[in-house]
Structure 1
Amino acid sequence: MKACINNQQIRHYNKCVLLELLYRVKRANKSTLARLAQISIPAVSNILEELEREKRVLNVEDEKQTRGHSSGTWLISPEGDWTLCLNVTPTSIESQLANTCLSPKGEFERFAISAPDPQALLAEIEKCWHRHRKLWPDRTINLALAIHGQVDPVTGVSQTMPQAPWKSPVEVKYLLEEKLGIRVMVDNDCVMLALAEKWQNTERDRDFCVINVDYGIGSSFVINDQVYRGSLYGSGQIGHTIIAPDGVVCDCGRYGCLETVASLSALKKQARVWLKTQPPTTGLNPETVTTAQLIDAWERGEPWVRNWVDNSANAIGLSLYNLLNILNINQILFYGRSCAFGTTWLNTIMRQIGFNPFDHGDTSRARSTQIGFGTLTQVEQVLGIGYLYIEAQLALMRQVK
């Protein structure tokens, strides 16, 4: 027989609700928290006082006090650890420092790196951390890392990193924690985007999918407000769905994966092969053609790149149609450099997806299929990986004894 929930458990649950709201909205008065949490103001007052005694939240005087709001504004206590959020590939690092409540501190940075081996990559991460530690010597600064490829978020091991010249797993979490003496959390870069949407976009649904079309093609699913990773942490590997069984070999060892047709690396490979057969009047060097040059050729209407991009969009749309019908997720958000191909590219994907067979023309936003570009800034995207710490903290609090 299932035990009934007692008042103490309800109060504990409501504590987590209020903390989650403060991490989302950053600061709010009691009446706003009561409205958002659907809890009475006296109950909110009691819970906030308890959280204040635990030094989890802080009450500050509101400079613009109005009648009924004289109790000031509440926010997450600023005394906790800060987080350096990094989006890491073997060729670049994007970084944003965040304070206790995951608000940005300092400037967003993106810089190229050279990492011929795992030790060099870890050295670049350490260098970035030391630079921020020097600027804020009185702060404990933990690391939250978003890494391209397959990642085990429990052990913090980067299992595979497609852009890397090495193929062996790297114990990122263990090695950095041992070297720096701080906490380190690691997950996939698409999980970073999903967390960013979940925590910072008030317009998203409880069920949604982010698709990152860049060097490769990855995705992450949020189902009932929780990131779904799968038992082997391989959920979202849409880039390795096979769409051309007789196609070219993929890095994963199989033939005809979506990434071999529709990723930016696939488009650049097509361009290199084609340019070698063309006169030099194209102005492009097949050995050094870049993503920016492909996008520029697309914008000029060059038929060769238009055809490739159209084919890639059709392939993405077909893969999504099959995948999303199974999950019945009706909000899809696109990120990555391929988004620069614009609405024509997106419309081609949408035509191939067609329509959700369970979508019978319901015009209410909550139920109709939504497909579009993600709107979060680069800073907001990178901050997403920092919410690994927030979710871990709230998960521990929810374990009622």
Structure 2
Amino acid sequence: MQLTGLNNLRVRQFNKKVLMTLLYREKIASKSMLSQLSRLSIPAISQILDDLQGDNLIAHSPVNLHKRGLGGGSYQATHDESAILCMNITPYRIESILVSRLVLPLSDYQMTEISVKTPEALLAQIEACFHQYKKNYPGLKIRLALAIHGQVNPTTGVSQRMPQAPWTSEIEIKYLLEEKLQTDILMDNDCIMLALAEKWQNTNYHQDFCVINVDYGIGSSFVINQQIYRGNLFGSGQIGHTIIDPHGDRCACGRYGCLETLASLSALKKKARLLEPADPTRRTPSTQELLDRYHQGESAICQQVMEGARALGLSLYNFLNILNINHIYLYGRSCGFGDAWLKTVCGQSGLNPFDRTDHVKTQATHIAPGTLSREQQIMGIGYLYVEKALDAMAD
């Protein structure tokens, strides 16, 4: 077996990528800040920054970030007259925000309600949104970063399955839209969007963490050693289809007793509708109606919500034992159930039983709602371009 070691050139390339990563996270930084965050010496930082400037990857400003000492100005990644249109797409709504190459907002967050019955109609809505931004920002080159609900192949740019859609066929979104719009497109699913948002925008940065999206369905995405893990078939994070009760209700995936049949909003709303079997006018309540009935203390609704919370907590317990990730951020409209729901989820998660024999002090598991705004969440998908640029530095 042949082993490849690290030579000076590879170490330099690695350190250049480290500094570029920090600049994309911090947006602007001084030499002392970069030295503190990277743990590299000031002389080493200076040499790497000179190389990055020579490669036209960063720009220097004489303006200091602090008033104490002489300072050496500040640095940031170079940017041009281009932008990234970040979009989160379902068959019922498109959320969007325009950001710079550094993933800083250029526009306000927008949410557009849609109702599409075919893949062609969905593509037309995306195209219309793109052209509206082009009209509002003339002369600006706009690339697309798309977060698509459901299973996505980010390499081919294909939406493989969109659970809320009235169709079951795949959509070659990247191929069809790049040809029509004459622009670059990167895409992934909405849980990856949340993981990217947490990775790049949460000030309490952790190398390993997981995001759980508890909404219409239940999905997850996790970051291990600072890298998003997608799996070979791009289907990792399907926590909603872990089986909790083999004798339970049939799931949309075809199996029985999946977590989604107990804890997702779609399942809870369906159960709420079935509570009134004698009412010929019964209908499925909206998410807000379900939340209101829960907070008003309707006993049957509260019972179902708590059963779902216990099922979610049990799934997280198994998840924690397998991966031993101790930072989990919850997103989605189910977080609106509040503290009692969260306490039930955390209560079922418990502690890894093997931790009790470990005499080394470890950090407690943290399960809590994510703190990023909806705007920041949507901006997360724009970091697909940042990660692509960083990956290119290693080639």
- TM superposition score category, shorter chain reference: over 0.9
**Distance of 1:226 and 1:64 partners within structure 2:** 30
- Indicate conservation of the 8 Å contact 1:52/1:58, yes or no: yes
- Indicate conservation of the 8 Å contact 2:92/2:114, yes or no: yes
Corresponding position of 1:379: 375
67-76 or 223-232, larger mean C-alpha shift = 67-76
1:298 aligns with 2:299: no
Corresponding position of 1:397: 393
Report deviation, 1:307: 0.6
- Gaps of at least 5 residues in structure 2 are none
**Distance of 2:282 and 2:39 partners within structure 1:** 60
- Indicate conservation of the 8 Å contact 2:148/2:159, yes or no: yes
Corresponding position of 1:128: 129
Aligned residue identity for 1:270: K
Corresponding position of 1:227: 228
**Distance of 1:35 and 1:365 partners within structure 2:** 26
Corresponding position of 1:102: 103
Report deviation, 1:359: 3.2
Change (3 A) 1:188 1:361: farther
Aligned residue identity for 1:330: N
- Indicate conservation of the 8 Å contact 1:212/1:334, yes or no: yes
Report deviation, 1:291: 0.6
Report deviation, 1:64: 6.0
- Indicate conservation of the 8 Å contact 2:64/2:71, yes or no: no
Aligned residue identity for 1:83: I
Corresponding position of 2:249: 248
1:32 aligns with 2:37: no
| 1:50-91 deviation line (CA, Å, top 9, x unaligned) | 222322211123266635454322111121632111111000
246-255 or 307-316, larger mean C-alpha shift = 246-255
Corresponding position of 2:210: 209
| 1:234-287 deviation line (CA, Å, top 9, x unaligned) | 110011111121222211111111111110000110111113436x9xxxx632
Change (3 A) 1:203 1:365: farther
- Indicate conservation of the 8 Å contact 2:272/2:284, yes or no: no
| 1:3-50 deviation line (CA, Å, top 9, x unaligned) | 442222222111111110010000011111121111222222222222
- Indicate conservation of the 8 Å contact 1:222/1:228, yes or no: yes
Change (3 A) 1:361 1:211: farther
Corresponding position of 1:188: 189
- Indicate conservation of the 8 Å contact 2:89/2:149, yes or no: yes
Alignment of 1:83-122 (within 5 A): 83-122=84-123
**Distance of 2:183 and 2:308 partners within structure 1:** 43
Change (3 A) 1:216 1:69: farther
80-89 or 262-271, larger mean C-alpha shift = 80-89
- Indicate conservation of the 8 Å contact 2:29/2:65, yes or no: no
Aligned residue identity for 1:316: L
Change (3 A) 1:340 1:42: same
Change (3 A) 1:162 1:272: same
Change (3 A) 1:366 1:101: farther
- Indicate conservation of the 8 Å contact 1:359/1:368, yes or no: no
Change (3 A) 1:64 1:10: closer
161-170 or 31-40, larger mean C-alpha shift = 31-40
Report deviation, 1:139: 2.0
Provide the secondary structure at the position in 1 that maps to 2:131. helix
Report deviation, 1:133: 1.5
Report deviation, 1:362: 8.4
Report percent identity of matched pairs. Answer: 53
Aligned residue identity for 1:99: S
**Distance of 1:361 and 1:274 partners within structure 2:** 47
- Gaps of at least 5 residues in structure 1 are none
Report deviation, 1:333: 1.0
Aligned residue identity for 2:189: N
Q: What is the total number of aligned residue pairs between the two structures?
A: 394
**Distance of 1:11 and 1:215 partners within structure 2:** 46
Alignment of 1:148-163 (within 5 A): 148-163=149-164
Q: Residue 324 of structure 2: which of 315, 328, 345 is its match?
A: 328
Q: Residue 356 of structure 1: which of 352, 355, 361 is its match?
A: 352
Change (3 A) 1:51 1:317: same
- Indicate conservation of the 8 Å contact 1:272/1:286, yes or no: yes
**Distance of 1:370 and 1:250 partners within structure 2:** 30
